[in-house]
């Protein structure tokens, strides 16, 4: 199937805490995944990606974990800041005649409480 799903539509965390956003995908053949952040009034912004030959990838304050056995993806944000408040989307990247087809999940709205 083509579904990419998210476990929770909203998440609230205290400033400074760590947050974890989860995502489930259904296509076991998918080999590339992306996390996007979308702030109000803006387009989705790339955060981090991971290929299926990896289990973990780290960026600046963000870590993506991939569990292919259960088809699960997570985004960890360390020491959250007010600027992290946004909607986060996971996307499954498929190919269509050389280009790419991003299948997005519903999105999780992350709210950082002061």
Minimum distance, C-beta of residue 69 to another protein, in the bound complex (Å): 22
Query: In the bound complex, what is the minimum distance in angstroms from residue 22's beta carbon to another protein?
Result: 16
Residues that bind another protein (CB under 8 A): 4, 31-32, 34, 36, 41-46, 49, 51, 89, 93, 95-107
Q: How far apart are CA 3 and CA 21, in angstroms?
A: 17
**Which DSSP category does 62 fall into?**
E
84 phi and psi, to 5 degrees? -80, -10
Which C-beta is closer to another protein: that of 65 or that of 103? 103
Which C-beta is closer to another protein: that of 19 or that of 37? 37
CB atoms within 10 A of CB 47: 20
Nearer to another protein, 96 or 114 (CB): 96
What is the Cα–Cα distance from 1 to 82, expressed in whole angstroms?
A: 36
């Amino acid at each position: 199937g083509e579904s990419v799903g998210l476990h929770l539509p909203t998440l609230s965390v205290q400033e400074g805490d760590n947050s974890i956003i989860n995502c489930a995908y259904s296509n076991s053949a998918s080999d590339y995944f992306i996390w996007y952040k979308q702030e109000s009034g803006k387009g989705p912004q790339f955060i981090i990606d991971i290929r299926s030959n990896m289990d973990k990838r780290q960026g600046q304050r963000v870590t993506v974990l991939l569990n292919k056995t259960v088809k699960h993806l997570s985004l960890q944000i360390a020491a959250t800041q007010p600027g992290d408040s946004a909607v986060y989307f996971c996307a499954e990247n498929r190919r269509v005649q050389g280009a790419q087809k991003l299948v997005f999940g519903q999105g999780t709205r992350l709210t950082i409480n002061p």
